[in-house]
Structure 1
Amino acid sequence: MSDFTSNQNLLFSDSEAMPHQAKQQQFLKFYLEPDTKIMLPVEQITEVLKIDLIQIIPIPEMPAWVMGVHNWRGEILWMLDLGNLIGLNAWYEQENTTPNCTAIVLSTKTTEQIKEQQSEKTSLGLVVTRVEDIEWCNPDLVQSPPGAAITTEIAPFLRGYWLREDGEMILTLDGNAILAAMFKI
């Protein structure tokens, strides 16, 4: 799944063949420890990477959720521990048996509220436990979670949750909010 962009084109071209999914969007479903299912809109994702942890260069005096930087296609890609950012288990606390990690390259245009003087695309690497698959979801079905279920760490990044027909609950995050967190440091 390393060339996510080319797979994205194949997935989007099928919308004519699936009229029942005309109002639906594609989301990438992934997991964070402890077994939390999350999704982000596919249009905010450029690629999914498998990288060796030694390729992430730590930067001193950064928040714990900033793992460091990685050379991605000749550019500096800030690598974030998404679990740590939203109040779940940090990457270093997990029982990892491999020196590799999975990272989702989040790329989205910044809004004026995030960075007024920048209108170009900005990218971040989100280190996650594992990437699962693509989900079709009508964004109108994403519900606001009850206030008691929201922690202060996840609240700024949470769009809501989607309850699948089989009862599986998947949290939906806002990629722009994740980018905004990076600009605040």
Structure 2
Amino acid sequence: MVGNPDFLTGRGQDQAPEFQELESPEGELHLRFYITSGHEFALPATGIREVLSPSPDRITPVPNVSPLLLGTLNVRGRVVWVADLGQFLGDPTPLNTDKPEVQVIAVEDQDIMLGLAVDRIVGMDWLDIEEVQMSTNVPDSVAPFLRGEWVLDAQANKFLRLLDQIAILRSARWAA
């Protein structure tokens, strides 16, 4: 079969002589999501370990820790801290965990993994990193964790802000 020239070229009795070209995506793959305030953010797919949707009762509260932390989650035998990303970024409204599932984005750097609980996940999108602009008019609580932003609609003041997951993981805010 491998010696058959039709096998190597992809042509055979049951295949059409022409083939369809696949469009190559532009940019880099990112996960888009919203926090409780309604602001949209993105994380590079390369920094995401996985996306989870556990029920709130699977997140175990831990006493005497930062109020930003919702608790811990067992992910295939590994204990992962879960944080309210919106509150971490200065959003005054806590994440609503009174629903069937909590959307959690697990980010990892070296041996540290953290679950970032968000309000709603939009999905994956190819975004052109060359179009990222320096963030303007962002709160001081968000600025250290931004790589920049894409302008979605300047007149409506809509931006897609690109987060730096390593800066979030390494932040001193977790000790508060």
Q: 1:161 to 1:42 in 2, by over 3 A?
A: same
Which protein is richer in helix relative to its size?
1
Aligned mates of 1:90, 1:55 — CA distance in 2: 22
| Aligned alpha-carbon RMSD (Å) | 2.4
Partners of 2:140 and 2:150 lie apart in 1 by 20
> 1:102, 1:127 within 8 Å by CA — same for their partners in 2?
yes
Q: 1:81 to 1:28 in 2, by over 3 A?
A: same
CA 1:183–1:17: 2 relative to 1, 3 Å = farther
Please tell me whether Structure 1 or Structure 2 has the larger radius of gyration of its CA atoms. 2
Q: Trace 1:7-156 onto structure 2 (pairs within 5 A).
A: 17-19=22-24, 21=26, 24-92=27-95, 94=96, 98-109=99-110, 121-146=111-136, 149-156=137-144
SS of equivalent to 2:171: helix
2:161 maps to 1:158 = no
Once the two structures are superposed, what CA deviation does each residue of 1:27-58 show, in whole Å capped at 9, x if it has no partner? 00001122111100001112111111121122
Q: What are structure 2's unaligned runs of at least 5 residues?
A: 1-20
Aligned residues: 153
User: Percentage identity across aligned positions?
Assistant: 29
Cα 1:90–1:71 change in 2 (3 A) is farther
When normalised by structure 2's length, the TM-score is: 0.77
Cα drift, residue 60 of structure 1: 2.0
CA distance in 2, matches of 1:104, 1:69: 13
Unaligned runs of 5+ in 1: 1-15, 110-120
Q: CA deviation at 1:20?
A: 5.9
**Structure 2: distance between partners of 1:60 and 1:182:** 19
Q: Distance in 1 between matches of 2:117 and 2:174?
A: 19
Give the deviation of 1:61 after TM superposition.
2.1
Q: What's the secondary structure of 1:54's corresponding residue?
A: helix
Deviations 1:60-87 (A, max 9, x none): 2222111111111100101010000001
TM-score (norm. length: structure 1): 0.73
